[in-house]
Amino acid sequence: MGQSRAMSSASAAPTESWPWPPAMRASAALHVAAIGAGALVPGAMPWAIGAIVLNHALITGAGLTPRSNLLGPNVTRLPEAAGARGQVAITIDDGPDPEVTPRVLDLLDAHGQRATFFCIAERVLAHPALAREIVARGHSIQNHTARHRHNFSFLGPRGFASEIARAQDILAETTGQRPTCFRAPAGLRNPFLEPVLHRLGLSLVSWTRRGFDTREGDPARVMARLGRNLQARDILLLHDGNAARTPEGTPVLLEVLPLLLERLRAGGLRAVTLPEGLEP
């Protein structure tokens, strides 16, 4: 469901109403039943309150689990067709960074591979030429919010809409391409996010595995996490912005990426952009 939406027209938001996920429908039904039981059944109020509290805990836990799909569609792997094509997706977050991103682009070019950059829109405003170069070299830029707010997962519908729609406009105006995919800061969210994404024609994309390269400065450890059971359809997460540094002071992505690209070549895999990989 999320995969098909990523390939929908970027020029207009969907007009159909938001299809409530089964877990959210069940949550709404539980609230109605609990309130009804608490009001009508003697002695049931403590149980009703307990059920609602547990339900809220489950929803909160889903929002704190980046790869969960309980709150709505969430792309964690490319579709089966991408597997048949031997494709993976390298996604690179939190840029563009004027020190790191140009060197990443050179490495990708040298290996003939493509990547998707989930960019922070205000950083694109600060480095518009670099953003345009990412697209000109055949890569994809997707939506990673306007400011990468640390309290993003606590926002309501208006806050989500403001952050995401503003980023959409900035990225489209700067690069000439309107994003079709969205990734939340740290992957954290709440139930109000999915209706906003649906209205804006965006698919939530998380990842298959990540290297934790914003806090791990050892390239071997980062590569070990990314390479464990690496296979077609995987979506891999790395960072050009906020990258950890090796003991020598090098952004760890620049040490890991050549290892990863060589691993893909040896395994007969090809890194493609998300819009290409999500094609049926």
The residues annotated as belonging to the active site are 93, 239
In whole angstroms, what is the distance from residue 185 CA to residue 213 CA? 15
- Residue count of the chain: 280
Buried b / exposed e across 15-30, counting CB within 10 Å, b at 16+? eeeeeebebbeebeeb
In whole angstroms, what is the distance from residue 227 CA to residue 236 CA? 9
In whole angstroms, what is the distance from residue 11 CA to residue 103 CA? 32
In whole angstroms, what is the distance from residue 205 CA to residue 6 CA? 9
What number of other Cβ atoms are within 10 A of residue 176's Cβ?
Answer: 10
For β-strands 140-143 and 209-210, DSSP reports them as: unpaired
Longest CA–CA separation in the chain, Å: 72
Q: Give residues with Cβ within 8 angstroms of 256, minimum separation 6.
A: 211, 213, 219, 222, 223, 226, 238
Which tokens sit at 242? 């906020």
